[in-house]
A and B are shown apart, each in its own frame.
Chain A
């Protein structure tokens, strides 16, 4: 089911792009862009929901009930639900697009690893999931050379006798920038969700960096491309929070 609905269409699209342009690194980048474009309505919807939630949390009514029921969580929850109903807002609405996007992201990741097929068992698995019209036998093995990288291996660029993980560094930087730029200003910097966001902004780049450092560099190319496309996507929707990365005195000068 998972393979039929998610993996096979994505894997075969990726292989088709590779067949057309003949470069697997570029195919990963174009494929990531394509998926971002297809899921753009979901992203836009998610942002809309998040903004609405934020507006609600900044409202006087919300603050008032927080204060009123600060010692009674049950009553607080009831009052919050009532407020949601009054405002005609479903608190789970922002989560739904994310939930739908989640399998797509996992599918994207799996498609890239399966297409690269760096081991015999992966290659046998690949043979079962390619559509006949792709004529995969003409594409296998994928030419995994892209710039200085072998996309099937973790990336290291030899500089002065040292293997420098350039792509890993790019993954860490772009993930950090993406997290910071996409974090909306918190209603209260000391509340729990703001703390969580802060921690995620710190740990996520490290986690992604570790994955990029250890797994085939084809995935790191996908991470970097995905991060950059996300920033562009958010900027196009006017949702990038530049204040999070540009020092305040520069913002004031502007």
Chain B
């Protein structure tokens, strides 16, 4: 009896240890973020959990997976991959490293170990270089051979949003969770201007418009229009919830959502509300535009919505309710949707599927289920 009790006690302790290490937040076993997804003409690149995937855009078959062998438990990827001019893949990991992978094979070309924390945000790749924001609060600027272009630029909090650029000034718009937007000269890292406190953490990717404005949502429950030249605030519009979603600009209108699940269409010039609609879950990913007439966005409830540019709904489809082997695949849509002509790509979390390709009517073209 005593021996039995001893083993039982040991078992309980062991189980507790396993359970606690499983939720350690390093992302190895439990997803701590959503997939990062990007595409080129023939391939979808997806970073999620312990792998970066390259999936054939035509039929949804796997081209390669990195790492190819058994993954390191401490290694996980959520930052959206970025593509260089020669097609290679730049992706940051939770192991504090930034990787450059061969687009054809997924083999490592180089890895950069200079950062002090996890890469949550995707890197920005321009003609000047690779700009990789890190959770250590610094922006790392590298050339194509991982040499640092300038000393890392430090902010006072995590960098979880991918920066954006403006080709006219060759500058980088860098949002920080310290509530400031920093604008740096891309070639030198010189600070051009820094916004005042914008009222909440910045995790949304800023969007630059050709009219010289930057649009950016905040955790202060606001959408802001900022003059790109000097940082002056043009207008600010209150939202129902915190804004994580970036903005899609089409024909002078802004399309975005907030964490309370409200979808907005605002006039880009004035910030006036054109439409506001409550959807079935938080909107995290930036809406996508197919280049023709439709804007797509996903919600935490696993629903994909299609809207005409005037804000009337074309259709909605529950991605999570799609069946596999008589079971719903499940899933939440946090990652930005990708749309191009008659192709829509969504990457759910907590789902049996990793990537779904749909046509413009919401019909499934193919589904990629991860291999073990």
Flag whether A163 is at the interface (Cβ < 8 A): no
Q: Determine how close the nearest CB of chain A comes to the CB of B361; give it in whole angstroms.
A: 30
Given contacts A141-B158, A192-B2, A211-B20, contact A124 B200 (CB under 8 A): no
Residue of A nearest to B20 (CB): A211
Given contacts A120-B78, A124-B284, A141-B157, contact A215 B24 (CB under 8 A): yes
Q: Determine how close the nearest CB of chain B comes to the CB of A109; give it in whole angstroms.
A: 10
A195 CB contacts on chain B under 8 angstroms: 2, 5-6
State whether B242 touches A137 (Cβ < 8 A): yes
Q: Determine how close the nearest CB of chain B comes to the CB of A127; give it in whole angstroms.
A: 5
Interfacial residues of chain B within 1-47, with CB under 8 A of chain A in the complex: 1-2, 5-6, 9-10, 13, 16-17, 20-21, 24-25, 27, 31-34
Q: How far is the CA of A5 from the CA of B139 in the complex (A)?
A: 41
Given contacts A120-B32, A192-B2, contact A207 B17 (CB under 8 A): yes
Q: Determine how close the nearest CB of chain B comes to the CB of A187; give it in whole angstroms.
A: 16
Flag whether A140 is at the interface (Cβ < 8 A): yes
Interfacial residues of chain A within 192-224, with CB under 8 A of chain B in the complex: 192, 195-196, 199-200, 203, 206-207, 210-211, 214-216
State whether A192 touches B5 (Cβ < 8 A): yes
Flag whether B282 is at the interface (Cβ < 8 A): yes
Flag whether A51 is at the interface (Cβ < 8 A): no
Flag whether B215 is at the interface (Cβ < 8 A): no
Q: How far is the CA of A78 from the CA of B349 in the complex (A)?
A: 55
Q: How far is the CA of A215 from the CA of B22 in the complex (A)?
A: 10
Chain B 69-86 interface 0/1 with A at a Cβ cutoff of 8 Å (1 = within): 000000000100000000
Q: Determine how close the nearest CB of chain A comes to the CB of B240; give it in whole angstroms.
A: 11
Flag whether A122 is at the interface (Cβ < 8 A): yes
Flag whether B67 is at the interface (Cβ < 8 A): no
B200 CB contacts on chain A under 8 angstroms: 137-138, 140
State whether B158 touches A200 (Cβ < 8 A): no
State whether A119 touches B32 (Cβ < 8 A): yes
B2 CB contacts on chain A under 8 angstroms: 192, 195
Interfacial residues of chain A within 153-184, with CB under 8 A of chain B in the complex: none
Residue of A nearest to B282 (CB): A124
Interfacial residues of chain B within 295-312, with CB under 8 A of chain A in the complex: 300
Given contacts A118-B25, A140-B219, A141-B158, contact A196 B20 (CB under 8 A): no
State whether A137 touches B9 (Cβ < 8 A): no
Set A113, A118, A141, A196: member contacting B201, Cβ < 8 A = A141
State whether A214 touches B20 (Cβ < 8 A): yes
Given contacts A122-B32, A141-B157, A192-B2, contact A127 B241 (CB under 8 A): yes
Flag whether A121 is at the interface (Cβ < 8 A): yes
State whether B33 touches A140 (Cβ < 8 A): no
| Highest count of chain B CB atoms <10 Å: which of A113, A124, A195 | A124
Chain A 105-128 interface 0/1 with B at a Cβ cutoff of 8 Å (1 = within): 000000001000011111110011
Chain B 194-220 interface 0/1 with A at a Cβ cutoff of 8 Å (1 = within): 000001110100000000000000111
A211 CB contacts on chain B under 8 angstroms: 17, 20
Set B9, B160, B349: member contacting A196, Cβ < 8 A = B9
Flag whether B177 is at the interface (Cβ < 8 A): yes
Q: How far is the CA of A18 from the CA of B95 in the complex (A)?
A: 30
Q: How far is the CA of A141 from the CA of B137 in the complex (A)?
A: 12
A206 CB contacts on chain B under 8 angstroms: 13
State whether B24 touches A137 (Cβ < 8 A): no
Q: How far is the CA of A206 from the CA of B13 in the complex (A)?
A: 10
A138 CB contacts on chain B under 8 angstroms: 200, 220
Set B1, B9, B13, B259: member contacting A124, Cβ < 8 A = B259
Flag whether B221 is at the interface (Cβ < 8 A): yes
Chain B 234-247 interface 0/1 with A at a Cβ cutoff of 8 Å (1 = within): 00000001101000
A122 CB contacts on chain B under 8 angstroms: 25, 32
Flag whether B354 is at the interface (Cβ < 8 A): no
Interfacial residues of chain B within 67-110, with CB under 8 A of chain A in the complex: 78
Given contacts A120-B32, A120-B33, A122-B32, contact A203 B78 (CB under 8 A): no
Residue of B nearest to A119 (CB): B32
Flag whether B124 is at the interface (Cβ < 8 A): no
State whether A120 touches B34 (Cβ < 8 A): yes
Q: Can you pick out 28 interface pairs between chain A and chain B where the beta carbons lie within 8 Å of each other?
A: A119-B25, A119-B32, A119-B33, A120-B33, A120-B120, A121-B33, A121-B349, A122-B25, A124-B284, A124-B334, A128-B259, A137-B200, A137-B201, A137-B220, A138-B200, A140-B177, A140-B200, A141-B158, A141-B201, A192-B2, A195-B6, A196-B5, A200-B9, A203-B9, A203-B10, A211-B17, A214-B21, A215-B20
Beyond A124-B284, A137-B199, A192-B1, 15 additional contacts (C-beta under 8 Å) are: A119-B33, A119-B120, A120-B34, A122-B25, A123-B203, A127-B241, A127-B282, A128-B259, A140-B177, A141-B201, A203-B13, A207-B13, A210-B17, A215-B24, A215-B25
Could you list which residues of chain B lie within 8 angstroms of chain A, going by C-beta atoms?
A: 1-2, 5-6, 9-10, 13, 16-17, 20-21, 24-25, 27, 31-34, 78, 120, 157-158, 160, 177, 199-201, 203, 218-221, 241-242, 244, 259, 282, 284, 300, 334, 349
